[in-house]
Amino acid sequence: MRDKSQLAISAPAKLNLYLHVKGLMHNGYHELETVMQTVSLFDELRIREFAGTEIKLITGNSEGLPPAEENLVVKAAKLLKYHYPRVKTGVEIRLKKNIPPGTGLGGGSSDAAAALKGISKIWGLEMQKPELAELAAELGSDIPFFIYGGAAICRGRGELVEPLPDIQENFICVLALPPIHVSTAEVYSEFDCLTNKSSLVNIAEVVSSLKFGDTKMLGDNLFNNLRQAACNVSTRLAEVEETMDKFFSLSGAYGYNISGSGSAWFGVYSERESALQAVKNFKEQANIPACIVHPVF
């Protein structure tokens, strides 16, 4: 019989297949319209309930992570405690990071969503996704999306989530991970200073490509108007842009872009052999870590 006082839960990365930053809102946040998809690169959380009220976070590979009291996983646990004071036990969360921080893949937000889902289950709170997403919005803009997972259109500052149907045919992505940490705050600040914020692709084309499983249409319509700002902020990211252009093009990617504010890049493929060749080229010729990921739901 499974021990109900502990559980393991995976936290997937995300890709921004479409990201249109529209500008600043009156509340100081940037207004977004984005299509996001969870993919098969996961952080791992092991959550254990114990007597007492303490919230413990244990990270075996903590490089690049904020202190425990600032970590979104701890904040998620404390938020549940605040809203459900009847809970009289503590939790220990062991977090194994596989999603590199500062890459635009949403690892911290995904960890927080996984913590909300896992801890609420351990504490027997019987919370449904809409209720969890409402709490998640108090923690951060991307976190409600990760409560649902799969593909979704997100608007507002990212907290308004419209889940999309599961795609008809899984596409293949090559994820390239240059060892570069990009500050999201600095990228948005630079974006506000740009006069040319890039031409706009129609979001309907991206949604249609997912609906009908049209990988070529998806690749043709990948869009992210933070890309120039990210390359302006990070000279190292700008330097690898040419490498990305070369290796994704040579291996037959239908399209490629950065995710979020970078530094991760991804290319869209329909043939696994082409994707494997791209991974090999990145590793052997450019010395850039790369892997194949698929959509997860």
| Residues annotated as catalytic (active site), given as ranges | 14, 142
Peptide bond between residue 263 and the one before it cis (omega within 30 degrees of 0): yes
132 phi and psi angles, rounded to 5 deg: -65, -40
Are 91 and 55 spatial neighbours (Cβ–Cβ below 8 Å)? yes
Residue with tokens 């252009």: 245
Q: Which strand (E) or helix (H) includes residue 172?
A: strand 172-176
Burial (CB count within 10 angstroms: exposed 0-12, middle 13-18, buried 19+), residue 219: buried
Greatest CA separation for the chain: 61
SS3 at position 296? coil
Q: Which two tokens mark 58?
A: 């244990």
Distance (Å, rounded) from C-alpha 34 to C-alpha 31?
A: 10
212 sits in which H/E element: helix 203-212
Six-digit token string for 90: 């503590």
Rounded to an integer, what distance in angstroms lies between the CA atom of residue 233 and that of residue 261? 10
CA distance 257 to 262: 9
Angle, vertex CA 257, rays to CA 251 and CA 263, nearest 5:
110
Starting at the earlier edge strand, list the strands of the sheet with 255-258: 255-258, 265-269, 172-176, 290-293
Burial letters 255-284, b for 16+ CB under 10 A, else e: bbbbbbbbbbbbbbbbeeebbebbbebbee
